[in-house]
Every structure is written in C-alpha cells, then in structure tokens.
Amino acid sequence: MAIDSPPQSSESRAEIVRLAALATGDEKHEASSYSTLDALTVLYERVLRVRPAEPGWPGRDRFILSKGHGPAAYYAVLAWRGFFPEQWLPTFMHSGTRLGGHPDRLLVPGVEASTGSLGHGLAMGAGVALTLRARGSDSRTVVMTGDAELNEGSNWEAILLAPVLRLANLTLVVIDNHTSSVPLVPLDGKLAAFGWAAETVDGRDHPALERALRRRTDDRPIAVVADVEAQ
C-alpha cells in the first residue's frame, strides 16, 4: 500500500527505540522492543491498511500487540507512521505520560487493544476477525505474540478455534526469540497441524516478512513465525 510519507532508515527507527527505551521504572523490556521492531516496521510500512490521521477509520486493518510488554518499538513505529508526534517518545514510562509500560487504547492513537497481560490478544483478534467478516468488511486482523507467550493455554484455544471458523482474515505473527520454556519446535508445524497456513521466515529479513505477511488464503488463517534468532 502507499504510505503517507517516505520511511526513515531502519537505523533511524532503531535509534528512536533506543532513545525511547531510556525510560523510568524497572519494566522497560528493551529486548522485547528489539525483537519486534522489524516485523512492526514491515507491517506499518508495507502491509497494514491504515489512516494515521483517522485512527478509527472503519476500513482500516486491525493490529493487536498481544506481546504488550516492552512496547517502545510499537510506539516508535506508530510515531514514525504519524499516529502521534515523535515528541511523545522521550516521555515513555514517565509520570503523566500517555506512553505507559503497556499500550492503552484510550491514551495512544493507533492502539486497538490495551494489552500486556499475556495470552489474551489472539482470542480478542479472533473475535475481531469474526466481527469484521460478519460486517462484510475485507479488513484484516493481525495479532503479534511471542513464542514464550504461547505457553499460555488460552492461545491454543484460539489457535484451535480460528481454523474451524475459517478466519481467513486473521494473521498471527509469532516473534520467536527461542525463549519458550515449553518445547514448541517446530512451531510452524504445530500451527499447521491445527489447520493454519503456517510458515517460518527470518524475522530480520524485510522482503521475506513482507511476502509472508501479505499472504492471504480463502479458507484458513495465516501464521507467520518470525525467527529473530535465525543463524
């Protein structure tokens, strides 16, 4: 899709995240921000249909950051995309800020769901996708989780349900930094066994991420495992 302004370099966006991560408090989760930055950049630069000047536009695609810990990268990408001024970024996790340690949909333009309590985003995303389909909308719903977050059983209830409902407008992005304490390998194979169209890509490779995230099917949800520790 066309974007409203030329993208900055990946290095510039990474620097914004590093600056935003210099926050007060003990739960900044910098590693979570670094692991999600590439997938978030590709989504908002090349894939998601959004209008930053009109965050509530009915025709928009919906994105839910279920991996709501350490949202500095999410805030940085939303600011770069024009949802709110970049001047907000240095206030991350300071007293009185809109940019808290977990994203709040009532405070931050562009945030669809208040998240941070892990294991809830995919179930919400399945409900959003079902609602959009019932309305006759062609909008997509994209949910981002982490591999360790998939240890939460509620995710697997949603993973089981989505193919049964044939939610072809739902995409799951799993940021795989190999931190899960439960053996899920191969993750794409497990998701495929539940009926998802699943594949693993290098989570730092922007063309590969774009190709996988743009993929659509007629009858089943998409899962993209973004391996950010690929050798």
pLDDT value, residue 170:
98
Segment 155-183 mean pLDDT: 94
Looking up tokens 């209008």 gives 51
CATH 1.10.760.10 fits 10-227, yes or no: no
Higher pLDDT pick, 13 / 5 = 13
More confident residue, 230 or 110: 110
Higher pLDDT, 91 or 227: 227
Whole-number CA gyration radius for the chain? 16
Compute the average pLDDT of residues 55-80. Answer: 92
- Averaged pLDDT, 170-176: 97
Q: How many angstroms from the chain centroid is the CA of residue 173?
A: 7
The one-letter code for the residue type at 183 is P
Q: What average pLDDT does this structure show over 144-167?
A: 95
pTM over 0.85: yes
How far from the centroid of its chain's Cα atoms is residue 35's Cα?
Answer: 11
The alpha carbon of residue 196 and the mean position of all alpha carbons in its chain are separated, in whole angstroms, by 18
Using the predicted structure, report yes or no on whether residue 141 has a pLDDT greater than 70.
Answer: yes
Q: How many CA atoms lie within 13 A of 208 on its CB side?
A: 13
Three-state SS annotation for 13-26: HHHHHHHHCCCCCC
**How far is residue 54's CA from residue 51's CA, in Å, rounded to a whole number?**
5
- Both tokens assigned to 61: 């695609």
Q: What is the domain partition of the chain in residue ranges?
A: 10-227
Residue 107 corresponds to which amino acid?
A: L
The Cα 222–Cα 213 span in angstroms is 8
Q: Which two tokens stand for residue 100?
A: 């808290």
185 — pLDDT class (breaks 50, 70, 90): confident
Q: Is the pLDDT of residue 103 over 90?
A: yes
For residue 152, the tally of other CB atoms under 10 A from its CB is 18
The CA distance from 129 to 140, in Å, is 7
Bond preceding residue 186 cis, omega within 30 of 0 = yes
Other beta carbons less than 10 A from residue 56's beta carbon = 9
